[in-house]
Amino acid sequence: MDYAIILCFDKDTENYFSKIMNDIAYGVGNNYVIDIKMPPHITVSFFHTNEISNIINLFDKEYLSFTSDTIIWASLGAFIPQVLYAAPVLSKYLLDFCDRANQLIKPYAENGVSELYLPYNWVPHTSLALKLNPNELKIAFDIALQQFTPIAGKSNRLVLAECNPYKEIKIWDLV
């Protein structure tokens, strides 16, 4: 089974991104990101395991080593042609968070962790729309351009999520 460790945000930041996500879904007619009920987030690790209890036990012990901090989103980007995202500034906080999460998970993940989510290869992002075709991406970008302004928000929880379909397995509050 595929899993992710995601970093979620304070209510104001979550509401800000949720509004943009909803407006894009309505404007494009592609509700995928809404239908899967995935909150705005930044994925810091992606991995495969058949023994998720090991990861839960590990993070139950280690989650206090992760802290809450300010994240600044400064621009929009795309993984062409399917994903539109808000791009946070890559800070020491985000890089250290990603590095620590992946170091903890690696011994328990089958075939290691996804290289796309390793430090210095990772493109941190908050997805605003997923599974777009090229025309939908253009429309989504136009909608996001009308609403997006740089924003500072706060991380407030770490979530272990099952992927495809999205399902929250465990949530740890950050301090």
Question: 115-152: per-residue pLDDT in tens?
Answer: 999 999 999 999 999 999 999 999 999 999 999 999 99
**Alpha carbon distances (Å) from 36 to 100, 137, 165:** 28, 19, 7
- The rounded distance, in Å, linking the Cα atoms of 116 and 122 is 5
Predicted TM-score (pTM) of this structure: 0.96
Residue 75 has pLDDT above 90, yes or no: yes
Q: Domain map of the chain by residue range?
A: 2-170
Q: In the structure, what pLDDT confidence band is assigned to residue 110 with cuts at 50, 70 and 90?
A: confident
Identify the DSSP state of 11. H
The C-alpha angle 2, 102, 93, rounded to 5 degrees, equals 125
- The dihedral built from the CA positions of residue 9, 15, 21 and 24, taken in this order, carries a sign that is negative
Residues 2-170, CATH architecture? Alpha-Beta Complex (3.90)
**Cβ-contact 58, 144 below 8 angstroms:** no
Q: What is the pLDDT of residues 1-22, one digit of tens each?
A: 999 999 999 999 999 999 999 9
Q: Name the residue type at position 17.
A: F
Residue 132 vs residue 81, higher pLDDT: 132
Q: Is the peptide bond before 88 cis (omega within 30 degrees of 0)?
A: no
What are 15's two structure tokens? 């509401």
